[in-house]
Structures are given as structure tokens and as C-alpha cells.
Amino acid sequence: MRAITMESPGGPEVLVWGEAPDPVCQPGEVVIDVVAAAVNRADLLQRQGAYPVPPGASEILGLECSGIVSEVGAGVTEWSVGDEVCALLSGGGYAEKVAVPAGQVLPKPAGVELATAAALPEVVCTVWSNVFMLAGLRRGETFLVHGGSSGIGTMAIQLAVRAGARVATTAGSQAKLDFCRELGAEVLVDYREQDFVEVVGQADVVLDNMGAKYLPRNVDVLAPDGRIVVIGMQGGVKGELDLGKLLRKRGTVHATALRGRPATGPHSKAEIVAAVRHDVWPDVERGTVRPIVDRRLPMTRAGEGHAVLEASSHIGKVLLVNEG
């Protein structure tokens, strides 16, 4: 098969379309002929040599895809050759084929075009597992998501609005904030000019992709009994935490990652995917929750997709599409 490969870490230019070994379908897995994959921040870190691949995962980039099942491993009963699906991956999506545990596969939602479905698995699983399964966002609470115009942010806004929360978000331009408003965000913060603590006041749940840079102010904005969930480190890995302030607020700080979770068992990818299929997929099929796609590029231009994310010039997801 062909896939995006790289000989050494570096900039977007190190990503090359070339030959790679075909994936082997192990028991409990399916092979998907990839129609499209999506670009995630973790892909950029891996390309730069800053995100070690979990044991057993493919070295090929790509944490989500959509496509057609072409092979079914021993013991798999839910999926059949020819099924249109999308999947949460531990790696391998930037390719013509990928092998994935059957428990990480989702049916293509009715009403969603197959390539577009590649924009769903990573963001929906990330938001649902962190904001709802872990932090327990409830109706009437205030939810703050940083980077509301990102792939994660646009999904988080939609799911929090669906849950009846008051949604606040940060973004870096008026156009991005306007889009977040269209999705249902009520409190809009231009992080270039405004302090989100002053604008938001208090938030019951904070979903943070910045890490160290925002940690003290995330504690400041936290409401009593509030929950911070850190899912990214764009602002650094080491920050100072005021434990006294956190204690007074009875607050909690969680830090989680999706890629390194086990395939099955408690707190696994399969557990999260099953919850997403039950709790979110019906609204995706109804169109009340929708994938937000900024642009589609040929898979061969993966480097261009990385450059778009690095420049933060996008709203929603950037897709890489196999052209035949």
C-alpha cells in the first residue's frame, strides 16, 4: 500500500507519500480501506519527534479515519466486508489501509458523507470521555472550552449546548468567535485582547488544550466544586498550581490522553467508543450534532494540512482524502 511516511522528525516537508507494508489483520481487528483521515495536533507533535508512539501502535500518522471494511479478523462478528465505517485509531490513518481493533470502529452515521465521517471519531471521543464521562458536565452549569474554533472546540460547544450548559469559549479572531456563536456559545473571549477570567467569571467545567500557560487562570475561573480537564500542552508542560486556592474551591484537575488508553477493558478506547455510539451517534444522524470541516486536501498533501493547523488558520477539522 501507499502511505505518508517520514525518515526523520522535522517540518511539514518531511511528510512523503510512498510505499509502506500492508497492515496485518489480527484476531479481533478489521482492516479499513481508508477514504479519508483527519489531521490532529498530536500528529504534528509526532512529526516533530515530540510524541512517542504507544507500544504496538503504527508509526504512520493518523488517529482517525473513515472508509470501507475490507477484511475481518477472527472473532469479529459485528463488522462485515463492505461496511462503511469510521474509526478511532492509535496510528496509521495517513494511508490507503489501516488495521484497527473492532471495538474502536463506528458505523458511518446516516446522513453524513463517508469522507466527512473521518472528522468525527477523535473529537467526539475526546469530548465525550472528558467533558461528560469524566467531568460530568450537567444541565445549567457553565462550560469553558479553550480554542472553541478547533476541531475539539467546535464539537465541545455543540455537545455542551445539547446538554443544556451555558457555554463560554476563547478564540483568536472575531471570525472564529462569530462561528462559535453560531454553534451556540454564549460567552465569547478574544484571548488576544481579553482575560477569560474577567469575561467568564466562573466555570464549572474547563476543557483546556493549553496546559501550563493557562493552569493558574483556569484555577482562578473555576467555580466551587469545579473541574478542570487538561487534554493538551500547547502552552507548555510545567506550571505552578495554587493548591490552597484549589482546596478552597474544592476543585479538581484532571489530565488525560486518549491515544495511550488500552483497546479494551475499563477506561479503554472501546468503552469510550461504545458510549459515543449510544449517547452521541443518534444526534449526529439527526443532524443536531455535526462535523465541522474547514477543508479537504489530497492525502498526498498532508504537509499542507499540517501547515494549516500550525498556523491556526482553520475552523474545525482538516481532512486528508485518498483520491483513488
pLDDT tens profile 227-246: 999 998 888 888 889 999 99
Distances (CA, A) of 232 to 51, 52, 149, 172, 299: 12, 15, 15, 17, 25
pLDDT for residue 182? 98
Alpha-carbon gap, residue 35 to 239, rounded angstroms: 40
Domain limits of the chain?
2-120+260-321, 124-255
Alpha-carbon gap, residue 196 to 272, rounded angstroms: 30
Residue carrying the nine cell digits 443518534? 282
Residue 324 has pLDDT above 80, yes or no: no
DSSP string, 195-211: -HHHHH--EEEEEESSG
pLDDT tens profile 18-64: 999 999 999 999 999 999 999 999 999 999 999 889 888 999 999 99
CB atoms within 10 A of CB 146: 26
What is this structure's pTM?
0.96
Tell me whether domains 2-120+260-321 and 124-255 share a fold.
no
Please classify residue 170 by burial: count the beta carbons closer than 10 Å to its beta carbon, then call 0-12 exposed, 13-18 middle and 19+ buried.
buried
Alpha-carbon gap, residue 21 to 3, rounded angstroms: 9
Asked if 234 and 102 count as a contact pair (C-beta separation under 8 A), the reply is: no
CB atoms within 10 A of CB 249: 17
Does 3.30.420.40 match the CATH number of domain 2-120+260-321? Answer: no
Instruction: Report the CATH number of the 124-255 domain.
Output: 3.40.50.720
pLDDT tens profile 80-128: 999 999 999 999 999 999 999 999 999 999 999 999 999 999 999 999 9
Pick from 114, 135, 132, 112: which is nearest to 124 by CA? Answer: 132
Residue 284 has pLDDT above 90, yes or no: yes
- Cβ neighbours of residue 63 closer than 8 Å, sequence gap 6 or more: 38, 40, 42, 43, 88, 89, 90, 91, 93, 122, 258, 259
